[in-house]
Amino acid sequence: MRAAVIGLGLIGGSLLRALAGAGHTVLGYDADPSTRAMARTAAAKVRTGTRWRVTGSVPDAVEGADLVALAVPLPAIPGVLDELARTGHPGLVTDVTSVKVPVRAMVAERIGRLGLLAGYIGGHPMAGRETSGFDASDPTLFQGCAWVLCLEPRTDMRDWLALAHLLTGLGARVVPATAEEHDRAVAAVSHVPHLVAAALVRLAADDPLALTLAAGSFRDGTRVAASQPGLTAAICGGNAGTAGTALDALLDSLGTARELLAEPDPIAALQAWLAPAARVRSAWPAAASEPVDLPPEPEVLLRLGRAGGWLVSVAPDLRSVSAARPI
Amino acid sequence: MRAAVIGLGLIGGSLLRALAGAGHTVLGYDADPSTRAMARTAAAKVRTGTRWRVTGSVPDAVEGADLVALAVPLPAIPGVLDELARTGHPGLVTDVTSVKVPVRAMVAERIGRLGLLAGYIGGHPMAGRETSGFDASDPTLFQGCAWVLCLEPRTDMRDWLALAHLLTGLGARVVPATAEEHDRAVAAVSHVPHLVAAALVRLAADDPLALTLAAGSFRDGTRVAASQPGLTAAICGGNAGTAGTALDALLDSLGTARELLAEPDPIAALQAWLAPAARVRSAWPAAASEPVDLPPEPEVLLRLGRAGGWLVSVAPDLRSVSAARPI
């Protein structure tokens, strides 16, 4: 297959390398000239046989592509969608941004206006790192990584399965979910944890003694607070409504903990509150079941995703999928 | 020096091994027979020249000891203090529990009642791990580790400096602080992070899709939620008032983040809120200044601690200390 990757940061660069490594012809583009230069230098160094190349424009990258993957930050998506629509690209389009309802809305607006982009399937590989940029990219980044592919009422199942086939081929665990389900889940396990990490840093920031005493629980609990604030703000703020609802639930929960600290026997009260979380966290990440074959029907796949399951592989004829679940 | 270590879990076992490795004679005791057996088996395996031995009772361990270190959990402290007081041990006593005001109160009550334990100096090595028990103990656990030694108006400076000399000899960074200062600092950098980690797990616990999508920010932000709930409850609940005040401050801060998510431009608002935390976290842990000599005066040392500084070494005659600060 011939693929175009627009945006060559950590995720886009890794996708470019992984697709080329899997034998696909890949053209990459990045709006930043220095990133393009870095990627070209890397392309010149790879062994013969892996086929990727960096172009000087979006139209050059997408010409003749079976799949276009948008790996730019959320604020850059509308501009790239407009450029892409102008090329008249008729095929599959996916993205890797960390919120799915807003991107779906951006695409839907353009489908209505331009009659294009109908082959859009939202995606999100859960492969963030503290590092960023093309020089941090890694062709093995997606092996074992959960990669949400949005499955909506209007999704063409053959397109969806073709994309799932491609991504499971890179070692990803493809998780079927609606855009809403995705945004709720990542609010809980990514957006709120980022806000909490920053709040924990703020709590200690003005006390040099506290920062000297800080050890493992502070180090790990605040690690992602060192991320680029602009990136974290775009991710959380791009999902503001859903992240707000999740943060409300966390505030409720911490409010309970606050009340337990004021009880006559706070130790016993806290122990009962902490125990279920310790059980869940000790069992995470879950082991995977043996793969089973499933019919590639939307409701079957969405049920699988809601149960925490994922696609291990898709048959080349797209007539069946192999799926695993957490056990 | 001859030292007794009461309680041979992760911290007590590591202290036993570290003191023996530094050439001291060490007797250890644990209330749990299987822990004593494990420690005896380990003692039989160590090379000739390191002197540590496991006794069958507290009195056997403390007889003739220059220093008694209590490495039992907070709820066990009163019982061990009573046993220790009955032995008539006249010398230095320290502990390693994670709250200092409550332990100081337990000791003060017994000093008043029994006229003993006057040589108590509260301590706390910031060396927690997810693992626990004697089999996780490690003689190098304290190298580079911040170890608070409480410096109170009634503290005998020669006792304090002798203990600081011993602990800097194990590679620890000895941090002078009052019990109150210690408890406030650890509430912010340890107790609240433990409660937050549990709340983050609870937020995702009932959603299998969320647990499958959870990646780095969830993994690190919730790591300590897998700790034994009884241990975390004893640590946080033992410092309930101070931890409650710190949790209130965190709730305020997260309440602000909640409001920012509801602003017309949540991305810009969040970025401004996240930026100071990113700066502080990126600069943590700070590098250490070159050591400078300081006079061993209580106010000088407490000022050092409040500025985030620590003792690197204590002169053998206890007349000066060498100290470093974060830069």
CB pair distance less than 8 Å for A215 and B75: no
Model confidence at A46: pLDDT above 90:
no
- The tokens of B23 are what? 């050439």
Which residue numbers in chain B have pLDDT < 70?
A: 47-50, 112-116, 129-130
Q: What percent of chain A has pLDDT over 70?
A: 97
Total structural domains within chain A: 2
Q: Does A251 touch chain B (CB under 8 A)?
A: yes
Mode of pairing for the β-strands spanning A310-314 and A321-324 = antiparallel
Is the same domain home to B79 and B175? yes
Q: Where are the beta strands (DSSP E) in chain A?
A: 2-6, 25-29, 52-54, 67-70, 92-95, 120-121, 123-125, 146-150, 173-177, 292-294, 310-314, 321-324
Model confidence at A112: pLDDT above 70:
no
Which of B141, B183, B196 is the best residue to mutate to test the A interface, defined by the most A CB atoms within 10 Å of its own CB? B196
Is the same domain home to A98 and A214? no
Is the same domain home to A135 and A17? yes
- The tokens of A113 are what? 């206006």
Work out the minimum CA distance from B201 to partner chain A, whole angstroms.
6
Among A residues 86-125, those touching chain B with beta carbons less than 8 Å apart = none
**Residue B1 to residue B193: CA distance in whole angstroms:** 38
Nearest CB partner across the interface for A217, out of B193, B203, B308 = B193
pLDDT in tens, A267-309: 999 999 999 999 999 999 999 999 999 999 999 999 999 999 9
- The tokens of B115 are what? 């006229």
Is the same domain home to B97 and B140? yes
Query: By CA distance, what is B127's nearest residue in A?
Result: A215
pLDDT in tens, A143-191: 999 999 999 988 999 999 999 999 999 999 999 999 999 999 999 999 9
Is the same domain home to A9 and A156? yes
Is the same domain home to A140 and A191? no
Q: Which domain holds residue A257?
A: 183-282
Is the same domain home to B137 and B210? no
Q: What pLDDT does residue A116 have?
A: 62
Model confidence at A114: pLDDT above 80:
no
Average pLDDT, chain A: 94
Q: Which DSSP string do the residues of B82-151 spell out, in sequence order?
A: HHHHHHT--SEEEE--S-SHHHHHHHHHHHHHHS--TTEE-EEE----S--SGGG--TTTTTT-EEEEE-
**Residue B299 to residue A244: CA distance in whole angstroms:** 46
Q: What pLDDT does residue A235 have?
A: 92
Q: What pLDDT does residue A15 have?
A: 97
Query: By CA distance, what is A282's nearest residue in B?
Result: B226
Model confidence band, residue A130 (pLDDT cutoffs 50, 70, 90): low
Q: Does A188 touch chain B (CB under 8 A)?
A: yes
pTM for the full model? 0.93
Is the same domain home to A237 and A140? no
- Considering only CB atoms, which chain A residues are within 8 Å of B174? none
CB hemisphere CA count around A200 (13 angstroms): 32
Is the same domain home to A242 and A111? no
pLDDT in tens, B197-215: 999 999 999 999 999 999 9
> What CATH number is associated with residue A244?
1.10.3660.10
Q: Does A223 touch chain B (CB under 8 A)?
A: yes
Is the same domain home to B296 and B233? no
**Residue B327 to residue B309: CA distance in whole angstroms:** 10
pLDDT in tens, B57-82: 999 999 999 999 999 988 899 999 99
Mean pLDDT of A210-224: 96
CB pair distance less than 8 Å for B246 and A203: yes
List Cα–Cα distances, B85 to A303, B59, B93, B224, in angstroms: 64, 10, 11, 35
- Considering only CB atoms, which chain A residues are within 8 Å of B268? 233, 237
Is the same domain home to B111 and B166? yes
- Considering only CB atoms, which chain A residues are within 8 Å of B306? 208-209
The number of beta carbons lying within 10 Å of the beta carbon of residue B108 is 13
Is the same domain home to B88 and B45? yes
Q: What pLDDT does residue B131 have?
A: 72
Longest dimension (CA), chain B: 71
